[in-house]
Structure 1
């Protein structure tokens, strides 16, 4: 591998490290996890409130049903007394009839309450099922996203490790003075070396001068791009 290729490979590995570091430090990942977790907690709170409402509703229903049964028993007693014990006592008949009518109206009211409670329970039960499905989906989304993104981050860490090892090995092959020049250019321009393709610098996309091409052909030790100053040729064996 030529010296220039080694320098370009170093900067490619540095670029890979930067990309992977950005992925690891990307706050969007943490933000998305927090958002899904927050939504899950909100739906979970709704689910608990639903269960609490259902419990209170059942208690009301049981109480109303018990009252309804008691009222019906009392109505039957009044009816029995009216038709069997009142005889021809008009005053008693009138009182029992009024009591019967009042109790019957009360039963209708309680009966309507029981029906409304049943309707409310059905509605809450439907909401509970919807919440249960939504909670399950949010939970799956959370862990799927966490596992998927977690794998990306682990892969990125592994790539950084390999790139750092590759850079260390490549730097051993490059003369110290050339490496210092390369790193200095990298610090100011982001990249320190570029290939020359059809007399055009791949770093700045500008055609170099004939003199620069001549220096490359003469195998000068280091040749820089006229426009951007990146290394476009370097020869380890050539001396100044």
Structure 2
């Protein structure tokens, strides 16, 4: 394997290593785990909020039922006096009649409010059940995800070690001058080896002379783009061997 082929393989494996390291870094940061945790916490807060609303509605129903009993008692007392025949004063009778109507109105409004609260309670119970089911499912999914994340981390770490070994082996076979040219081009341009495409350097897109392309095809020496300094390779020469 000549020096150009080794440099090409070195670049491939360094890019693979970089990609694996990025994936591993994302897993180490635990962004997805944090997002799942946030979703679980939101659901837990939502459950607490809905249960508090349920508790308040239960308390309001109890309070209203007590008031309703008081209104019922007052209404019975008023109507007992109203229809007993013992009261003959017209003003008093008129006052008691109005009081009776007012109490009936209060009772009607109270009963409607209790019915409304009971409907809200049923809706809240249904919503709480839905959210709790979602919460349970998400927690199960979270545990499965954590196991998968841990397994994935171990796999990526193995891949990192494998790529490091391959890179080290390739470098050991490279001549010092070839590796120096590679490192300088990589430092200056981000990646060191550029493919010749349609008589152009794929790195900077400048036209390459026919004579230089012919030299690159022979693979006998390392040639660099006269414009960007990247090491040139010709696809038909190298990629078919990869």
User: Who is 2:117 aligned against?
Assistant: 120
Deviations 1:44-83 (A, max 9, x none): 4444333223212212212222332354355456656777
Deviations 1:119-161 (A, max 9, x none): 1342354256446646755873984996599479735554433
Give the secondary-structure state (helix, strand or coil) at the position aligned to 2:193: coil
Quote the offset at 1:227 in angstroms.
4.0
Quote the offset at 1:109 in angstroms.
0.7
Corresponding position: 1:5 with 2:5: yes
Corresponding position: 1:185 with 2:185: yes
Corresponding position: 1:105 with 2:102: yes
Task: Tell me how far apart the structure 1 counterparts of residues 16 and 178 of structure 2 sit (CA, whole Å).
Answer: 22
Which structure 2 segments of 5+ residues have no match? Answer: 234-242
Quote the offset at 1:177 in angstroms.
3.1
TM-score when normalising by structure 1: 0.65
Name the CA shift for 1:177/1:118 in 2 (closer, same or farther; >3 Å): same
Is the contact between residue 40 and residue 135 of structure 1 (CA under 8 Å) also seen in structure 2? no
Quote the offset at 1:167 in angstroms.
0.6
Task: Tell me how far apart the structure 2 counterparts of residues 17 and 195 of structure 1 sit (CA, whole Å).
Answer: 20
Give the secondary-structure state (helix, strand or coil) at the position aligned to 2:19: helix
Quote the offset at 1:3 in angstroms.
2.6
Give the secondary-structure state (helix, strand or coil) at the position aligned to 2:223: strand
User: Who is 1:171 aligned against?
Assistant: 171
Corresponding position: 1:63 with 2:74: no
Which structure 1 segments of 5+ residues have no match? Answer: 234-240
TM-score when normalising by structure 2: 0.64
Task: Tell me how far apart the structure 1 counterparts of residues 105 and 114 of structure 2 sit (CA, whole Å).
Answer: 14
CA RMSD, Structure 1 to Structure 2 (Å): 4.6
Q: Number of matched residues?
A: 228
Is the contact between residue 57 and residue 121 of structure 2 (CA under 8 Å) also seen in structure 1? no
Alignment of 1:44-83 (within 5 A): 44-73=44-73, 75-76=75-76
Give the secondary-structure state (helix, strand or coil) at the position aligned to 1:224: coil
User: Who is 1:140 aligned against?
Assistant: 138
Name the CA shift for 1:49/1:140 in 2 (closer, same or farther; >3 Å): closer
Structure 1 range deviating more: 109-118 or 189-198: 189-198
